[in-house]
């Protein structure tokens, strides 16, 4: 279209962009006001669903009157083309504001989050679900005003514009129930808002898969990265809000944006609990108490008696140490011995006891596997992890060499040590220490099993590792694997878990304490294993 051009009383002055619709900066010639005009393209007009959604957006947004929602002044059709006239906003969308570092400090970010929650609370109050909450649909004006935009796939109770089973929304911000098709409610917006809040606070997207399969798998199986929020200095109460908003089960999320608004207002007012107060009572550190004065000062000391007692204690302790001293740790070539004892397991770091066991220093390599099982190896790939096999294949190999697959808890104990570290190297989210997709020095493919050594081994990234724990799959897991396996996966077949992430996943703290369920007959180019055996 050659500009300037006329659309009724609107003079189109500048093309601003668009896809299914074209967006222009325009002037309302009747009242001399700068506006934005959005016009459905010729090709989109031929799509009945696209046209219906466009008109739906005009109808819904035209009825909104809220300071944090973009205003719609007019809508209709001109020469057979539907159009919408909206307020003209100067500034940038939230995606650019995050990328350009324009969000300010923590309180500024929380105010932006509060404005978005207020807008969505207003929308939900009218029984409308937005269904496409993402940074591109949030505008931050040059005066700091936050505006929610784009109601093209919003859904009112009396309006159904999606084909049966069709999931609407941007994949990175879709909820588990949208992916699995288990029912859409207003809680999908709360889930997407939680991911949006994570991004506002940390500057990074929570879901970062490179393929649709990876994105859906992460949404269905992995929580948000709490460590990333900790590293960004996000207060505990705010981290807790993000975790609750992004709960996989809808009933575990806040049930309304009204509740989120009140919580954010309290946080901005400083009416939030400290990190210690927010812990369960049993998890709080015990208060330090001063010793009674009688124990601090002994006015009438009997030095000779105390010397004798101390000497006796030293002698008894020495004899006990000599008699009960541990022998040298058992050895098994290529394996690490993990002594019996208690370690801190899971997200909550729950004390857990395990018997002694051995575990391989690395994933099983192609060379080791084929030496035992008699298979061929492509030249140059001898030292890569053995992948593309089923659980039955892995068990057969382990049995032949007198080993087994590790249990999930054994695998986690080996990775986290006794104190529940998030990574083999500590609690720092450092992608440079593993073969993960956000390590700029990695190859984004499998690497030799000893590429990231120690201490004593690295179980993060490279290939997912099967662990021998039978598991009942969730409905979302079944739905996910039903789309990638032939015949489709079912709940009746045996499932186990895999752990540790892979070369095509970004580094997450959840790799250390969380697991993903897979059917035993599943195989993939990024799933391998390592072996274990009982200790002496």
Residue 377 pLDDT level (bands cut at 50, 70, 90): very high
- Tell me, yes or no, whether 394 and 519 share the same domain: yes
**Mean pLDDT of the 204-222 span:** 83
Q: Chain-wide mean pLDDT for the chain?
A: 81
> What pLDDT score does 412 carry?
93
Total residues belonging to the chain: 536
Residue 470: inside a domain: yes
**End-of-domain residue from the set 279, 300, 317:** 279
- Tell me, yes or no, whether 518 and 413 share the same domain: yes
- Tell me, yes or no, whether 258 and 208 share the same domain: yes
- Tell me, yes or no, whether 475 and 438 share the same domain: yes
- Tell me, yes or no, whether 113 and 262 share the same domain: yes
Q: Which domain holds residue 391?
A: 335-534
Residue 192: inside a domain: yes
Report whether 343 contacts 354 (CB < 8 A). yes
335-338/495-499 β-pairing: unpaired
Is residue 273 scored above 80 in pLDDT? no
How big is the chain by its Cα radius of gyration, in Å? Answer: 30
Is residue 497 scored above 50 in pLDDT? yes
Residue 509: inside a domain: yes
Strands of 96-225, DSSP E = 138-141, 146-148
Which uninterrupted H or E stretch holds 33?
strand 33-40
CATH code where residue 436 lies: 3.90.1580.10
- Tell me, yes or no, whether 198 and 341 share the same domain: no
- The Cα–Cα gap between 511 and 218 comes to 11
Query: Between 4 and 327, whose confidence is greater?
Result: 4
- Tell me, yes or no, whether 23 and 126 share the same domain: no
Residues belonging to the active site = 132
Residue 411: inside a domain: yes
Query: Between 240 and 311, whose confidence is greater?
Result: 240
- The Cα–Cα gap between 501 and 459 comes to 9
The rounded percent of the chain whose pLDDT value lies above 90 is 41
**End-of-domain residue from the set 87, 116, 132:** 87
CATH code where residue 198 lies: 1.10.510.10
> What pLDDT score does 255 carry?
94
pLDDT digits (tens, 9 = 90+) for 418-451: 899 888 888 888 888 999 988 888 777 999 998 8
- The Cα–Cα gap between 177 and 172 comes to 13
Is residue 154 scored above 50 in pLDDT? no
> What pLDDT score does 300 carry?
39
- Tell me, yes or no, whether 408 and 456 share the same domain: yes
pLDDT digits (tens, 9 = 90+) for 225-267: 999 999 888 999 999 999 999 999 999 999 999 999 999 999 9
Domain count, the chain: 3
**End-of-domain residue from the set 56, 87, 118:** 87
90, with CB counted inside 10 A (0-12, 13-18, 19+), is: exposed
Residue 100: inside a domain: no
Residue 185: inside a domain: yes
Residue 292 pLDDT level (bands cut at 50, 70, 90): very low
> What pLDDT score does 453 carry?
65
pLDDT digits (tens, 9 = 90+) for 380-433: 999 999 999 999 999 999 999 999 999 999 999 999 998 998 888 888 888 889
> What pLDDT score does 454 carry?
59
**Mean pLDDT of the 179-203 span:** 90
Q: How far is CA 446 from CA 125, 213, 371, 464, in A?
A: 50, 18, 20, 11
pLDDT digits (tens, 9 = 90+) for 30-72: 999 999 999 888 877 877 777 777 877 777 777 788 889 988 8
pLDDT digits (tens, 9 = 90+) for 444-488: 799 999 888 655 568 899 999 999 988 888 887 888 788 778 888
Residue 376 pLDDT level (bands cut at 50, 70, 90): very high
- Tell me, yes or no, whether 346 and 267 share the same domain: no
- Tell me, yes or no, whether 377 and 433 share the same domain: yes
**Mean pLDDT of the 323-332 span:** 50
Residue 116: inside a domain: yes
Residue 235: inside a domain: yes
Helices then strands (H, E): number in the chain? 17, 18
- Tell me, yes or no, whether 250 and 380 share the same domain: no
- Tell me, yes or no, whether 57 and 142 share the same domain: no
- The Cα–Cα gap between 285 and 268 comes to 27
Q: Rounded to two decimals, what is the model's pTM?
A: 0.50
Query: Between 128 and 496, whose confidence is greater?
Result: 496
């Amino acid at each position: 279209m050659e500009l300037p051009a006329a659309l009724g009383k609107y003079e189109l002055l500048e093309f601003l962009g668009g896809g299914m619709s074209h967006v222009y900066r325009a002037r309302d010639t009747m009242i001399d006001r700068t506006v934005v005009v959005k016009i459905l393209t010729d090709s989109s007009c031929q799509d009945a669903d696209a046209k219906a959604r466009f008109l739906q957006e005009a109808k819904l947004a035209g009825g909104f009157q809220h300071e944090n929602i973009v205003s719609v002044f007019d809508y209709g059709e001109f020469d057979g083309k539907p159009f919408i006239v909206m307020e003209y906003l100067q500034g940038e969308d939230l995606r650019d504001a995050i990328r350009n570092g324009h969000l300010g400090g923590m309180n500024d970010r929380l105010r932006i989050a509060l404005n978005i929650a207020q807008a969505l609370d207003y929308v939900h109050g009218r029984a409308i679900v937005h269904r496409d909450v993402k940074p591109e649909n949030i505008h931050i004006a040059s005066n700091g005003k936050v505006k929610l935009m784009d109601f093209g796939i919003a859904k009112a109770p009396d309006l159904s514009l999606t084909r049966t089973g069709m999931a609407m929304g941007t994949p990175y911000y879709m909820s588990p129930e949208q992916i699995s098709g288990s029912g859409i409610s207003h809680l999908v917006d709360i889930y997407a808002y939680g991911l949006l809040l994570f991004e506002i606070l940390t500057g990074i997207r929570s879901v970062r898969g490179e393929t649709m399969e990876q994105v859906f798998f992460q949404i269905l199986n992995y929580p948000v990265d709490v460590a990333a929020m900790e590293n960004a200095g996000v207060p505990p109460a705010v981290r807790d809000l993000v975790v609750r908003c992004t709960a996989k089960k809808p009933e575990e999320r806040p049930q309304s944006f009204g509740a989120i608004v009140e919580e954010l207002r309290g946080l901005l007012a400083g009416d939030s609990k400290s990190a210690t107060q927010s812990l369960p009572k049993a998890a709080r550190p015990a208060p330090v108490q001063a010793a009674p004065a009688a124990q601090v000062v002994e006015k009438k000391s009997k030095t000779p008696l105390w010397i004798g007692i101390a000497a006796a204690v030293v002698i008894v302790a020495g004899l006990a140490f000599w008699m009960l001293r541990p022998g040298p740790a058992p050895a098994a070539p290529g394996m690490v011995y993990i002594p019996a004892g208690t370690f801190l397991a899971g997200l909550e770091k729950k004390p857990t006891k395990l018997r002694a066991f051995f575990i391989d220093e690395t994933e099983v390599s192609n060379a080791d596997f084929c030496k035992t099982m008699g298979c061929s190896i492509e030249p140059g790939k001898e030292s890569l992890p053995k992948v593309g096999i089923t659980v039955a294949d892995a068990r057969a190999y382990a049995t032949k060499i007198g080993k087994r697959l590790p249990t999930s808890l054994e695998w986690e104990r080996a990775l986290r040590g006794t104190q529940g570290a998030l990574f083999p190297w500590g609690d720092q989210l450092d992608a440079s220490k593993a073969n993960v997709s956000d390590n700029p020095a990695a190859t984004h493919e499998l690497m030799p099993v000893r590429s990231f050594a120690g201490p004593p081994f690295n179980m993060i990234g490279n290939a997912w590792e099967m662990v021998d724990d039978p598991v009942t799959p969730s409905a979302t897991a079944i739905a996910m694997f039903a789309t990638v396996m032939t015949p489709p996966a079912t709940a009746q077949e045996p499932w186990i878990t895999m752990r540790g992430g892979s070369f095509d996943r970004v580094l997450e703290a959840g790799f250390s304490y969380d697991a993903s369920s897979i059917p035993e007959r599943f195989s993939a180019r990024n799933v391998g294993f390592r072996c274990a055996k009982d200790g002496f």
